[in-house]
Amino acid sequence: MLRPVCKYATRQLKAPCRLVATTIGRRHLHTPVAFDWKDPLGSNNLFTDDELAIAETAESYCQERMQPRVLAIQDAYRHEDFDKKILEEMGELGLLGATIQGYGCAGVSSVASGLITRAVERVDSGYRSGYSVQSALVMGGIEEFGTQEQKEKFLPDLAKGKLVGCFGLTEPNHGSDPGSMETVAEPHPSKKGYYTLSGAKTWITNSPIADVLMVWAKLGQNGKIRGFLIERDQCPPGTLETPPIKNKNGLRASITGMIQLDDCPVPEANMFPDVEGLRGPFSCLNSARYGIAWGTMGALEDAIARTREYALERKQFKSNPIAKYQLVQKKLADASTDAAYGILAATQIGRLKDEGKAAPEMISMIKRQNCDRALVNTRVLQEVFGGNAVSDEYHIGRHVANLFVTQTYEGQSDIHALILGRAITGLQAFC
């Protein structure tokens, strides 16, 4: 039998809605509102004054201090060099581990943290990678899973950028499948209260310069995955090597390397106490992925701004700026749309995160979509530059190369598609 919908309406449509109506006041339909291409869907309306101030601080720092390191000197990208001082500067500004409360951290909202990340990646995805590893993976991981002692020992100096951290999960043969990891931790044969770790990790951002290495390993006795904080200066010679991986074709402004552990002794006190299995690293990755969803939008926005400027200045065929051509305008319209949508989605998940309502699959969704769209659109925008795109002085090629890596790391796009597919259908399609 059909429910008495009409009665419903009397009670629910009429009465309570008046309440909504009064709060929204008279709508100003006639007032023309100007469109701002830098914020096409008005996302700035969603941020608090504090969040906007934090964003401004981060943007100022990144544009004024970080950008010149890529642009003028071009050391970073061309020579695959990472200036460790950047982390110290960010530390001074309170940008590292910013969502953490206490331990010298700023304790800001997840959205504020997202806005910082977007500012950093507006400059370069490699810088953002270095920043994410320090903030989300290492500091976030210690905050979530560390003992009180571990937190007090590491967080303050990590927050200042005096210690550099890295996060060792991925292994050479198990990129998308960390469950098959081979790195193993055994009770130390002689040193009591110590484990000894052996194995290899690869594609580890910051590893060659890291002081603290968060490494995930399987316990020999039960095969359970546990997390360890390895202090480089405590490792006997020959037990820890972190050779850099050179000649990368993307993320060249971040430093990447391996972690090679050869019976490396680590005190039990440096093991995370409770977390077992993949829940630990996956939780850290979730935070990092959330940041990537924000960061890639910054890179895309920078690509849009640069393309718009180039298209307005570049003249072809009867002195028309190429920005006047339909095929160019469509590219800009598409990219702006995806950037605006991506920011809204990242904001939404930031809010849910702080309310404890963010499911991991939500983060899979925004990480995947924002990386995919940033990559696709930046590639299309690159076409607007014609031959000049090949010169690194126009920056667009750097973004394209970087964004490919963001699409593939911390869960390749297809892997997240299958995570979502499983969540939607209840069925596993990985094999």
Q: Which of residues 100-159 bind a second copy (CB under 8 A)?
A: 101, 106-110, 112, 144
Check binding of 74 to a second copy (CB under 8 A): yes
* Cα–Cα distance for residue pair 120/153, rounded to 1 Å: 27
Cβ 351 to a second copy shortest distance, Å: 8
Tell me the pairing of strands 165-168 and 212-219: parallel
Please work out the total of residues on this chain that contact a second copy, with binding judged by CB under 8 A: 161
Cβ 281 to a second copy shortest distance, Å: 14
Residues involved in catalysis: 410
Q: Report helix, strand or coil for 219.
A: strand
Check binding of 379 to a second copy (CB under 8 A): yes
* Cα–Cα distance for residue pair 293/370, rounded to 1 Å: 5
Work out the angle at residue 135's Cα, subtended by the Cα atoms of residues 131 and 141, and round it to the nearest 5 degrees. 140
Cβ-count burial 137-146 (b if 16+ within 10 Å, e if not): bbbbbbbebb
What is the identity of the amino acid at 194?
Y
Cβ 267 to a second copy shortest distance, Å: 25
What are the residues facing 95 on neighbouring strands? none
Cβ 165 to a second copy shortest distance, Å: 19
Check binding of 43 to a second copy (CB under 8 A): yes
Check binding of 45 to a second copy (CB under 8 A): yes
Nearest to 248 by CA among 283, 312, 203, 218: 203
Out of 2, 192, 222, 237, point to the residue binding a second copy (CB under 8 A). 2
Which CB, 178 or 267, lies closer to a second copy?
A: 178
Please give the residues from 160 up to 219 whose contact with a second copy meets the rule CB under 8 A: 170, 173-177, 180, 202-203
Please give the residues from 312 up to 331 whose contact with a second copy meets the rule CB under 8 A: 312, 315-318, 320-321, 323-330
Cβ 412 to a second copy shortest distance, Å: 5
Cβ 193 to a second copy shortest distance, Å: 28
Cβ 187 to a second copy shortest distance, Å: 28
Do the beta carbons of residue 389 and residue 383 sit within 8 Å? yes
Find the part of the chain contacting a second copy (CB under 8 A) among 125-133, 151-159, 263-271, 399-407: 399-407
Out of 67, 147, 198, 412, point to the residue binding a second copy (CB under 8 A). 412
The burial of 37, by beta-carbon neighbours within 10 Å (0-12 exposed, 13-18 middle, 19 or more buried), is given as exposed
Check binding of 72 to a second copy (CB under 8 A): no
Check binding of 40 to a second copy (CB under 8 A): yes
Do the beta carbons of residue 393 and residue 357 sit within 8 Å? no
Check binding of 398 to a second copy (CB under 8 A): yes
Check binding of 349 to a second copy (CB under 8 A): yes
Q: Report helix, strand or coil for 74.
A: coil
Do the beta carbons of residue 197 and residue 261 sit within 8 Å? yes
* Cα–Cα distance for residue pair 389/387, rounded to 1 Å: 5
Which CB, 258 or 264, lies closer to a second copy?
A: 258
* Cα–Cα distance for residue pair 65/120, rounded to 1 Å: 11
For helices 85-92 and 125-132, angle between their N-to-C axes, nearest 10 degrees: 70
Check binding of 54 to a second copy (CB under 8 A): yes
Please give the residues from 247 up to 306 whose contact with a second copy meets the rule CB under 8 A: 247-251, 283
Out of 71, 184, 219, 245, point to the residue binding a second copy (CB under 8 A). 245
| CA contacts within 13 A on the Cβ side of 398 | 27
Which CB, 86 or 405, lies closer to a second copy?
A: 405
Out of 207, 369, 377, 378, point to the residue binding a second copy (CB under 8 A). 369
What is the identity of the amino acid at 114?
G
